[in-house]
Structure formats: C-alpha cells, structure tokens
Amino acid sequence: GAVVSQHPSWVICKSGTSVKIECRSLDFQATTMFWYRQFPKQSLMLMATSNEGSKATYEQGVEKDKFLINHASLTLSTLTVTSAHPEDSSFYICSARVWRVLDYEQFFGPGTRLTVL
C-alpha cells in the first residue's frame, strides 16, 4: 500500500508557541489530504480537507486561523497549530486519498502527539 509519513511523532511545547506538523506521501502523489484529531477514547474527528494548490476546507467548529493548513505540493501538507494552548493537546493524524476505480482509499500517517504545557 501507499506510505504516508508524519513528522514529528510527538512534540511538547509551551503555551503560546506555534507547532508545525508535516504530512508526506512517500511513494505517490496526493491532491487531497485530510487532517484528523483524536481526543482520548474518542473517534478520529475530521478537522479539515487539504487540497493541493488551493485553500483548505475546514469542518464546522474548527478555527482556520488557529489551525493553518498548507498543501503546497502533491506530496506535502502541513498543519500549523498557532498560539497553542493546553486544550490543543491531542493526537493529530493525517491521511492521503488515493482514488481507485469504484471508490477510494485513505492511507494514514502514524500521527503526532502534541502536548502543550
């Protein structure tokens, strides 16, 4: 299957700082990538859809100025958590979509654990 990498795998930062998370498709091109967040014992929740060369589409309740998404190339999307606060501490995971004949698959990165002190 297609491989998606994510960096860093974990990060600890101070409140008020910004953190950038990278998501890369290693052996394929992805025009569409997705960013999810997971709180303990909850489902993966879609935050935004990242489209190469255009603005991201954010889900209801997700602040676009807080979570900046850039998809400047067909293999890289970045999520920047700006002015992070303790409530932003969570597990962030990206995925890239690959279209098949009748449907599509999404391949996931391993995720990033963000802890804001």
Partner 1 sequence: ILNVEQSPQSLHVQEGDSTNFTCSFPSSNFYALHWYRWETAKSPEALFVMTLNGDEKKKGRISATLNTKEGYSYLYIKGSQPEDSATYLCAFNGNKLVFGAGTILRVKS
What x-and-dash track marks residues 77-106 binding partner 1 by CB under 8 A? Answer: ----------------x------x-xxxxx
Strands 104-108 and 19-25, sheet pairing: unpaired
Q: Are 50 and 72 in contact (CB under 8 A)?
A: no
Alpha carbon distance 35, 50 (integer Å): 8
| Contacting residue, 18, 64, 110, 115, with partner 1 by CB under 8 A | 110
Token code pair at residue 101: 């004949």
Site string for partner 1, 20-59 (x = CB under 8 A): --------------x-x----xxxxxx--x----------
Instruction: Note the residues at the interface with partner 1 (CB under 8 A).
Output: 1, 4, 9, 34, 36, 41-46, 49, 93, 100, 102-111
